[in-house]
Amino acid sequence: ILQTNILEGLDRLRTSAVAHGACNKLSVTLLGLVRPATFLSGGRMNTDAFFRCAPAGPDPLWRYLTEHDPKYEGKKKLKISGRELAAVPEQVFGLDQLQVLEMSPERESCLRHRLELLPRDISRLKNLTLLYMDSNNLKAIPAEIGSLRRLERLTLSNNRLSSLPPEMAALQRLRSLHLANNALAELPAPLCQLRGLTFLDLSDNKIHSIPSGIRHLEKLETLLLLFNSLESLPEDICVLRNLHTLWLGNNCLRALPASFGELVNLDWGCNYCSCNFEGNPLECPPPEICSRGPEEIRDYFLLLHRVVTLWKFAETPFCFILLSLPSLCSCWVFSLWLLPLTLSSCFIISS
């Protein structure tokens, strides 16, 4: 038990912390603490007890919970964590001025919370701009998430989500969305309506296809799709000209879209950092072509187009003079397309 009188008069204290202990009750009124960053972590912290002991009346509780961290620029932040966190204290939803809510365990602890449900009362926190809910046991997100119209960053990685509510399409201020290591089998349709997204992490799911609606995410700069089950990519992904990082490693891709070489803003000079193909059974183009960057990929598909054109006119028996056939780069696709080609009445100079 941490008693009130220990902290009374510490008007210069900026951070109060209880971490990695067996403390099960925080009995402080935070008297004299102007704006400490309060962390409830480790131990078996009774978060309800903390809220019961916090100042009441006209003094808003959040003034004691403002993080002194430059990256939050003075935002009103509350962090709740603990090995046995299984529910969100209902008092949290009374903090209607709260801007940052973090309910994720410390990375160093390698823990996972037992939180399975995000209460519908989350809709009351309409001033939230940052919501961290990664490394919990969330199986679903309530439709009320769509009420958080000011949300700019949402982290839901390391949960058990298999779908997202359509109401998420209302989060038009969202810039960064983290959904890695969940159970998504497809890219949820609402995501394709989040036109303000610049960062999207869908790695380590079970996604087997990307919808054509991905083209609407025109501001997207980083797209992480590694460790999924992707067998193909739509041509629509090639219109995302602001992409500078695209991770495709460890999927089932055998071919890339014909316009893939148009993604010239990817940092091809550092290919394996900006556009990762490793772990895919690529055949068209083969990996050695992909690793050379957009120009080589464009040339490859131009050659492919020429062979297709030759195939389309195969029924014309007179091609006059056929000087040579272009190099086929040992790609099985070409040999299949050339099977119906006939060269009757042609004068072959070389082959």
Q: pLDDT digit string (tens) for 144-183?
A: 999 999 999 999 999 999 999 999 999 999 999 999 999 9
HEC readout, the chain: CECHHHCCCCCCCCEEEECCCCCCCECCCCCCCCCCEEEECCCCCCHHHHHHHCCCCCCCHHHHCECCCHHHCCCEEEEECCCCCCCCCHHHHHCCCCCEEECCCCHHHCCCCCCCECCHHHHHCCCCCEEECCCCCCCECCHHHHHCCCCCEEECCCCCCCCCCHHHHHCCCCCEEECCCCCCCCCCHHHHHCCCCCEEECCCCCCCCCCHHHHHCCCCCEEECCCCCCCCCCHHHHHCCCCCEEECCCCCCCECCCCHHHCCCCCHHHHHHHEECCCCCCCECCHHHHCCCHHHHHHHHHHHHHHHHHHHCCCCCCCCEECCCCCCCCCHHHHHHHCCCCCCCCEECCC
User: What is the pLDDT, as a whole number, of residue 284?
Assistant: 87
pTM, full prediction:
0.70
User: Is the separation of the CB atoms in 283 and 254 below 8 Å?
Assistant: yes
Higher-confidence residue of 331 and 161: namely 161
Q: What mean pLDDT is reported for the chain?
A: 73
pLDDT at 127 over 80: yes
CATH class of this structure's domain 1-171: alpha beta
> Which amino acid is residue 120, in one-letter code?
R
Across 18-27, 199-208, 285-294, the highest mean pLDDT is recorded for 199-208
Which residue, among 80, 117, 72, has the nearest Cα to 102 in the 3D structure?
80
Bigger pLDDT: 93 vs 305 = 93
Query: In terms of C-beta density within 10 A (0-12 exposed, 13-18 middle, 19 or more buried), how is residue 225 classed?
Result: buried
**pLDDT over 80 (residue 267):** no
Report which listed range, 41-55, 115-129, 170-184, is most confident.
170-184
**Residue among 143, 134, 148, 144 at smallest CA distance from 163:** 143
Q: State the Cα–Cα distance between residues 134 and 132, nearest whole angstrom.
A: 6
> Exposure string (b/e) for 167-193, b if CB count within 10 Å is 16 or more?
bbbbbeebbbbbbbbbebeebbebbbb
Give the pLDDT mean for 232-241: 94
pLDDT of residue 106: 61
Nearest to 244 by CA among 215, 224, 274: 274
Domain with CATH 3.80.10.10 in the chain: 1-171
Mean pLDDT of 61-76: 51
Among the listed residues 129, 62, 51, 121, the one whose alpha carbon sits nearest the alpha carbon of residue 95: 62
pLDDT at 131 over 90: yes
Average the pLDDT over 178-191 and give the result. 95
What's the whole-number mean pLDDT along residues 182-211?
Answer: 95
pLDDT at 167: 97
Cα–Cα distance measured from residue 48 to residue 88, given in angstroms and rounded to the nearest whole number: 9
Query: Among the ranges 19-23, 50-54, 81-85, 216-220, which has the highest mean pLDDT value?
Result: 216-220
| Lowest mean pLDDT across 49-63, 186-200, 310-324 | 49-63
Express each pLDDT in 279-315 by its tens digit: 899 888 888 888 888 888 888 888 776 654 444 444 5
pLDDT band at 32 (very low <50, low <70, confident <90, very high): very low
pLDDT at 270: 57
% the chain with pLDDT above 70 = 59
Instruction: Give the amino acid at 264.
Output: V
Count, residues in the chain: 351
Comparing 230 with 18, which gets the higher pLDDT? 230
Find the range with the poorest average confidence among 217-221, 228-232, 330-334. 330-334
Average of per-residue pLDDT across 52-57: 41
How confident is the model at residue 147, as a pLDDT? 96
The answer to whether 195 and 173 have CB atoms below 8 angstroms apart is no
